[in-house]
Amino acid sequence: MMLRVLLLLILPLCAVAAPLPVPDQGPALRIQGSNTIGAALGPALVKGLMEHQGLQAVHSEPSDGANEQRVIGKTRQGKSVIVEVAAHGSSTGFSALKKASADLAASSRPIKDNELVDLEPLGDLKSPEAEQVIAIDGLAIILHPRNPLDTLNTEQLAQIFNGEISTWEALGGSGGAIHLYARDDQSGTYDTFKELVLRLRGKPLAGSAKRFESSEALSDAVSHDPQGIGFIGLPSVREAKAVAIVDGDSQPMLPVTRLIATEDYPLSRRLYFYLPPSGRNPWAKALVDFTQSSKGQAIVAANGFIAQQVQAISVASRPSMPEDYQAIARDAQRLTVNFRFEEGSASLDNKARQDLQRVVAYINSHGKLDKQVTLVGFGDAKSDPQRAALLSKLRAMAVRRELVKSGVVLRDIRGLGAQMPVAANTADEGRIKNRRVEVWVY
């Protein structure tokens, strides 16, 4: 019985639908939205799905407009299958769903409340089936390769991109005026930077910033400007230099794989496919399923993003860590996942529900079912530290309840309260990031 449950948990991550219908005319699938996804990752996933479906001569070619392309494959009978990908920014994906000019929205930010209401006729786009986290990305803050600056905090970033800090000398460096580079208003990358850095501090982007639709063009511009600074998705750093970021009382963190995979890095973000529940296109559903499979996540990694495949990593203990945590770090390895919760709720969010399946699969395949797993809960600061510790342990117990359903017998559960924050507690977004549960295996 237990094996059957585990198989049911694992199958959705690797199963793809049987041969898909080929339309008599027009594209089989239309994807619109994020440039971060649509420039390379989206087409690569489509190619992977086509090849998985047995199509031949799969390739992409430019379409009619800038940042638009078609992915084409042929059936064994010689019939063409076309998928259209338009990458003009996350907002355009939701607009296209409303106008029925797209079957799937690609977004590098969560759907906004007003978009959710606007698209209610298509069903609940926040449901677990509709909102699919396909990868984790980190926004890198990039400088010219010879800029000696190594670390910035999020408050400094807001002041820099607002224009309040306008010279490198004000940051202890040299070089004169700071030149700002930013993505355009339609970009999910810009939306994420605005939400994580600017809006939280009530600061608009300076009008002097040079704006780009292309991530690659922005990165190249910064890497050729000794006075330049910009923000970019991780795969587009190219020849520029990424700096470490501090948020509140967090440690300085570079945009490295393990810190982005756990979403501890202050400027980490999720990349999404949004699949409307009503009138679902079978190719859209198959692409989502393929993307969540091990083959799809391998394509995610190959394109420079962080895959959601669970791995165990060693964490060096530091004197600044609580003693209990140091002991765990010495004897166990941390899984590259954090369980987080819906805003204002004790319910796991949509990514956490997907991650439960991945964690159970890892635990089972590595023989860790019997007292080989410890959960460590964290929270945001409270006026009463004991209450913070209790709430953090309750979060860990919520994850335990789900793991127990799959036959996992826990070794230990800890609640470390507001210790070891990964984000500032001054805003809801930071508090949500701090409310997390780590998984450690022995």
pLDDT of residue 344: 67
Tokens coding 176:
């004169």
Spatial neighbors of 97 by CB under 8 A, at least 6 apart, are 32, 105, 119, 122, 274, 276
pLDDT of residue 353: 93
pLDDT at 8 over 70: no
pLDDT at 365 over 60: yes
3-state helix, strand, coil in the chain (%, to 5): 35, 25, 40
For 369-388, the pLDDT digits (tens) are 999 999 999 998 888 889 98
CA-CA distance, 107 to 34, in Å (whole number)? 5
For 128-186, the pLDDT digits (tens) are 999 999 999 989 999 999 999 999 999 999 999 999 999 999 999 899 999 999 999 88
Residue 207 phi, psi dihedral angles, 5° rounding: -65, -15
In 32-187, which ranges are continuous DSSP H helix? 35-38, 41-52, 90-98, 113-118, 154-162
CA distances in angstroms from 224 to 127, 191, 289, listed in the order given:
44, 25, 41
Q: Which helix (H) or strand (E) holds 7?
A: helix 2-14
pLDDT at 13 over 60: no
CA-CA distance, 191 to 171, in Å (whole number)? 25
**Helix, strand, or coil here: 324?**
helix
Spatial neighbors of 267 by CB under 8 A, at least 6 apart, are 138, 139, 140, 141, 192, 193, 196, 197, 231, 245, 255
- pTM: predicted TM-score of the whole model, two decimal places: 0.83
Is 104 in contact with 273 (CB distance < 8 Å)? yes
pLDDT at 188 over 90: no
pLDDT at 284 over 50: yes
Is 408 in contact with 363 (CB distance < 8 Å)? yes
The amino acid occupying position 156 is Q
pLDDT at 428 over 90: no
For 220-272, the pLDDT digits (tens) are 999 999 999 999 988 899 999 999 999 988 999 999 989 999 999 999 989 99
pLDDT of residue 342: 82
Name the more confident of 346 and 37. 37
| Tokens 């945001």, located at residue | 380
Q: Which domains does the chain have, with CATH numbers?
A: 2-130+275-302 (3.40.190.10), 138-261 (3.40.190.10), 310-441 (3.30.1330.60)
pLDDT of residue 9: 44
Task: For the chain, give the mean pLDDT.
Answer: 92
pLDDT at 14 over 80: no
